[in-house]
Amino acid sequence: MTNHDLNDGSAVKHRHRHEGPQKHVIAFIFSIILTLIAFATVAAGGVNTAFTVLLLLVMAVLQVLVQLGYWMHLKDKGHMMPIVFMAGGFFVAGLAIIAALYWMWW
């Protein structure tokens, strides 16, 4: 059960007062940099293909973690169930992708 005590408002407020736009702007700049690296690598070309693929995937995963963790608050307390069910969704999605990549063509 989510124990949300309404009388606890002051404490909550205090915690959030420090959460200005700066943190999100930093996360945003981080995402922009990740995106730029990804696009620049592809636009420049000439880099080893396997390395590029790996790099692009890492950039994508990092950016998704920023979105989910910071902007969708999954890193905050009280998000156990959302994390479990998002992880479940990504897990099954991964199964489908593995099947499609490895067990489709022979």
Partner 1 sequence: MAHAHSVKRHKGLMDWLTTVDHKKIAILYLIAGGLFFGIGGIEALLIRVQLAKPMNDFVTAQQFNELITMHGTTMIFLGVMPVIFALMNAVVPLQIGARDVAFPFLNSLGFWTFLFGGLLLNLSWVMGGAPDAGWTSYTPLSSTTYSLTHGVDFYTIGLQIAGLGTLIGGINFLATIITMRAPGMSFMRMPMFTWTSFVTSAMILFAFPAVTVGLVLLSFDRILGANFFNVEAGGNPVLWQHIFWIFGHPEVYILILPAFGVISEVVSTFSRKRLFGYSSMVFATILIAFLGFMVWAHHMFTTGMGPVANALFSIATMLIAVPTGIKIFNWLFTMWGGQIRFTTANLFAAGFIPTFVMGGVTGVMLASAPADYQYHDTYFVVAHFHYVIVGGLVLGLFAGLHYWWPKMFGRVLNEGLGKVEFWTFIIGFHLTFFVQHFLGLIGMQRRVFTYLPNQGFDLMNLISTIGAFLMGVGVIIFLVNVAISFKQPKGVAGDVWEDGRTLEWAIPSPPPEYNFKQTPLVRGIDAFWKEKMAGNTEMTPAEPVGPIHMPSPTILPFVMSVGLFIAGLGFMFTSDDFGNSLLNFLFSNYIITGIGLAITFGSMLLRSLYDDHGWHIEPEEMNDKGVKA
Partner 2 sequence: MTTPHAQQASGALPHEPEKATLEGRNKVLGFWLFLGGEAVLFGTLFATFLTLRNQVADGPSASELFSLPITAAATFILLISSLTSVFAIQAMHRGNRTSLARWLGITVVLGLAFLVLEIYEFTEYIVHDDYGMTTSAFSSAFYTLVGFHGAHVLFGILWISILIGQLFKKGLTVVTAPKVYVSAMYWHFIDVVWVFIFTVVYLLGKVVG
Residue 17, judged by CB atoms within 10 A of its CB (0-12, 13-18, 19+), counts as exposed
Nearer to partner 2, 25 or 75 (CB): 25
Residue 52's binding partner out of partner 2, partner 1, none, with CB under 5 to 8 Å set by partner kind = partner 2
Residue 42's binding partner out of partner 1, partner 2, none, with CB under 5 to 8 Å set by partner kind = partner 2
**Helix axis angle, 49-66 to 21-44, nearest 10°:** 160
81 vs 40: CA distance, rounded Å: 37
Nearer to partner 2, 12 or 75 (CB): 12
Q: Are 2 and 78 in contact (CB under 8 A)?
A: yes
74 vs 83: CA distance, rounded Å: 7
Q: How far is the CB of 76 from partner 1 (least distance, A)?
A: 17
* Residues in 76-95 that interact with partner 1 by CB under 8 A: 81, 85, 88-89, 91-92, 95
Return residues touching partner 1 (CB under 8 A): 1-2, 81, 85, 88-89, 91-92, 95-96, 99-100, 102-106
